[in-house]
Amino acid sequence: MNHGVVLFHTTSAALRAEKILTSAQLVVKLIPTPREFSSDCGIALRFEWDDAVRVKELLDNARVEVAGIHQIN
Amino acid sequence: MIYLDNAATSFPKPDAVIRAMSNFLERAGGNPGRSGHRLSIEAGRIVYAAREAIAALFSVRDPLRVIFTLNATHALNLALRGIVRPGDRVVTTGMEHNAVMRPLRALERAGVRVIVVPCARDGSLNLDTMRRAIEPGTRRVVVNHASNVVGTLLPIAEIAQIAHAAGALVLVDAAQTAGVLPIGIEAMGIDLLAFTGHKSLYGPPGTGGLVIGEKVDAAIIEPLWRGGTGSRSEFEEQPDDLPDKFESGTPNGVGIAGLGAGVRFVLERGIENIRAHEVELTRMLIDGLQTIPGVVVHGTRDAEKCTAVVSFTVGNRQVSEIGLRLDEEFSVLCRVGLHCAPAAHRTIGTFPQGTVRFAPSIFTTQDDIRVALDAVRKIIQE
């Protein structure tokens, strides 16, 4: 399964994103931010890469501030 | 025992609050926002859920604009010290608590102009007087939503309208009203709202917060304390992101867990139902006390125009003696004296002797009120 991660500036934003995406029935998981990315915030949100467009749209609509979205293996 | 000191702190707390706190310590004891493991994330989720509950209570769209503090006093200090600069003109009222007056008096010494608009003896505020005081050039208006001494409500929406017309920001002290009266940040035009968690939100002591309205640019607020936030850790400068900018250091996770449960308790009971219950008890207290010869009830004496706070005096009788006898002989617990609000007592004419204050909650019954009234009657008629 191909995954992506959403990076945030704050934990609160990550938790807010988790709630928004979970209630939209997406499969997501909060994980420690992978080392290769920014260390802005200790946790990142992993999602299924097929949902990338949906994830971006949902977070944009809710005006959640995102530090980056990346594909991971 | 009859507890009538809910304006100081509510007691008892709902079972759900105690369970949420015990659950936090037993199962979610990580440091929220600091690490990526499951206990840290679970603690973070609980803190975030409390933020959401408070956002729902005050009709705030973005829960990240809810900043947790230890109490309303810290929230008021954060707001006042964060947005008031030397040279600013600040308007407040003659019914404020020392949580507002002391920071303002300190700012006054630093070159801030503080204008205190007098209130009537029942604690009410004349809007024309307020309009004249908020002249152009006024930067901030700081008002309580309800007095902690007599419960008198101030017309926040009208005050905000006047303040905004003059270009001033409005900071509201909702320590006595959050949880008992509907508060809509946007609908009422509130820019900054300070609340406490341990009174009518039924959370534990050590909880409270500041809500930053959507129209306020958080960049104008200086943080009061700086430090670790678990975010942007590579920088030695304080981050600008909300809520981290104002929440340095490990938060009171267990307290916030309890506060979240308390707010959900309030939302489930319904503010209207809580208010209706408290208006009924307040009416019983006001009417009952006024039938006792020698008792003077202060404030509006109208349960619809105040919170569930009833202050009274009995001629020259020492309020401390009445309070002690209520406790020792009748197990009725209340608060006597100046209630940390000398300005309000000057306004209602009870400075420096103070008043006896009865403050019921959702858990107080009509029988409790009858027993308390009987106790006052017995003490006075001896």
CATH number of the domain enclosing B56: 3.40.640.10
Amino acid symbol at B334: C
A25 domain residue, yes or no: yes
Give the integer Cα–Cα distance in Å for B185 and B157: 10
Among the partner-chain residues B44, B229, B232, the one whose CB lies closest to the CB of A15 is B44
Same domain? B264 vs B275:
no
A38 domain residue, yes or no: yes
Same domain? B170 vs B93:
yes
Give the integer Cα–Cα distance in Å for B258 and B253: 9
A31 domain residue, yes or no: yes
Active-site annotation holds for B340: yes
Interchain contact B39–A (C-beta under 8 A): no
pLDDT at position A37, please? 84
Same domain? B234 vs B307:
no
Same domain? B145 vs B33:
yes
Same domain? B251 vs B118:
yes
- Min mean pLDDT across B142-146, B202-206, B235-239, B255-259 is at B235-239
Domain hosting residue B109, numbered range = 15-269
Interchain contact B62–A (C-beta under 8 A): yes
A59 domain residue, yes or no: yes
Percent of chain B residues topping a pLDDT of 70 = 100
Q: Which residues of chain A have pLDDT under 70?
A: 38-40
- The answer, yes or no, to whether residue B192 has pLDDT greater than 80, is yes
Same domain? B283 vs B307:
yes
Same domain? B109 vs B226:
yes
pLDDT at position B206, please? 98
**Cβ <8 Å between A9 and B232:** yes
- Min mean pLDDT across B30-39, B114-123, B160-169, B341-350 is at B30-39
- The answer, yes or no, to whether residue B29 has pLDDT greater than 90, is no
Same domain? B33 vs B82:
yes
Q: Read off the pLDDT of each residue in B337-363 and give the average, rounded to a whole number.
A: 96
Per-residue DSSP letters for B162-187?
Answer: HHHHTT-EEEEE-TTTBTTB---HHH
pLDDT at position A39, please? 59
Interface test with B, best of A8, A11, A18 (most B CBs within 10 A): A11
**Cβ <8 Å between A12 and B234:** no
For residue range B236-279, what is the model confidence (pLDDT) as tens digits?
Answer: 999 999 999 999 999 999 999 999 999 999 999 999 999 999 99
Higher pLDDT, B29 or A26: A26
Q: Read off the pLDDT of each residue in B141-160 and give the average, rounded to a whole number.
A: 98
Select from B244, B269, B294 the last residue of a domain. Answer: B269
Q: Domain containing A45 — which CATH number?
A: 3.30.70.1530
pLDDT at position B197, please? 98
Domain hosting residue A51, numbered range = 3-65
Out of B119, B306, B334, B340, the active site residue is B340
Q: Domain containing B308 — which CATH number?
A: 3.90.1150.10
Nearest residue of B to residue A13, measured between CA atoms: B64
For residue range B44-90, what is the model confidence (pLDDT) as tens digits?
Answer: 999 999 999 999 999 999 999 999 999 999 999 999 999 999 999 99
Same domain? B79 vs B200:
yes
Interface of A with B in 26-65 (CB under 8 A): 30-33, 39-43, 63, 65
Interchain contact B370–A (C-beta under 8 A): no
Q: Read off the pLDDT of each residue in B142-154 and give the average, rounded to a whole number.
A: 98
Same domain? B176 vs B320:
no
Using CA atoms, how far residue B251 sits from A59, B43, B125, B180, in Å, is 26, 10, 37, 26
Percent of chain B residues topping a pLDDT of 90 = 93
pLDDT band at B382 (very low <50, low <70, confident <90, very high): confident
**Cβ <8 Å between A15 and B231:** no
Q: Read off the pLDDT of each residue in B345-367 and give the average, rounded to a whole number.
A: 97
Per-residue DSSP letters for B251-284?
Answer: --HHHHHHHHHHHHHHHHH-HHHHHHHHHHHHHH
Number of domains observed in the structure of chain A: 1
Please give the radius of gyration of chain A, using alpha carbons only, rounded to the nearest integer: 11
**Cβ <8 Å between A30 and B64:** no
The minimum CA-CA distance between B231 and chain A, rounded to whole Å, is 4
Same domain? B280 vs B210:
no
A73 domain residue, yes or no: no
Using an 8 Å CB-CB cutoff, list chain B residues near A16: 48, 63-64
Number of domains observed in the structure of chain B: 2
Same domain? B211 vs B68:
yes
Structure tokens at A28: 């997501």
Among the partner-chain residues B41, B47, B234, the one whose CB lies closest to the CB of A43 is B41
Select from B204, B236, B269 the last residue of a domain. Answer: B269
Interchain contact B244–A (C-beta under 8 A): yes
Q: Read off the pLDDT of each residue in B144-159 and give the average, rounded to a whole number.
A: 98
pLDDT band at B30 (very low <50, low <70, confident <90, very high): confident
Contact between B184 and B145 (Cβ < 8 Å): no
pTM score, whole prediction? 0.95
CA B172 to chain centre: 9
